[in-house]
Amino acid sequence: MRTLVCLEERDGGVVYQRTERMPVAPGKRPCHNRYVGAAVKLADRLFLIDHETLNGHEITQTILFPSFQSQVTRLTGLKMGVADNSERMPCCVRVVYQRLDEQTSLREALAQCGLLALGDPSLDAALLAAIQNDIAAGEYHFRARH
């Protein structure tokens, strides 16, 4: 799933909004979930905690870290929360945050959001490896990947 996250500095802190765009059925308008939260940088990690504003059923926490390369365009990490359905089962997924080009408009960015097939040409191999939700040989717990 591709979502849009907008961070901004406000009153000495960092707040953000995360917007999900989910297709309901072909030909129908997509539904949107909107999350608001706060971000804190601690050492080389970015901690985000937010809540869903429309139905009030979710709180999520995301922990991100840089690739430690000279130019950081992606942050990888884990997001934990509850599934947005009637079961509300706690779950955890790998995530990648990628900085958008300064020329990308808000409308263009939102249009790119939604569910993507694993074979989508906009998803490169490094991104797919970083978000695959499996436990590889030698891994003993679910952890983020570079």
Q: How far is it, in rounded angstroms, from Cα 1 to Cα 23? A: 11
At 80 the pLDDT is: 96
Tell me the whole-structure pTM to 2 decimals.
Answer: 0.87
Task: Please give the DSSP secondary-structure letter assigned to residue 29.
Answer: P
Query: What parts of the chain have a pLDDT lower than 70?
Result: 69-71, 84
Q: Is 60 exposed, middle or buried (0-12, 13-18, 19+ CB in 10 A)?
A: buried
Q: What is the C-alpha separation between 69 and 104, in angstroms, rounded?
A: 24
The whole-number pLDDT of residue 48 equals 97
Interstrand relation of 31-42 and 13-22 (parallel, antiparallel or unpaired)? antiparallel
**3-class DSSP assignment, residue 32:** strand
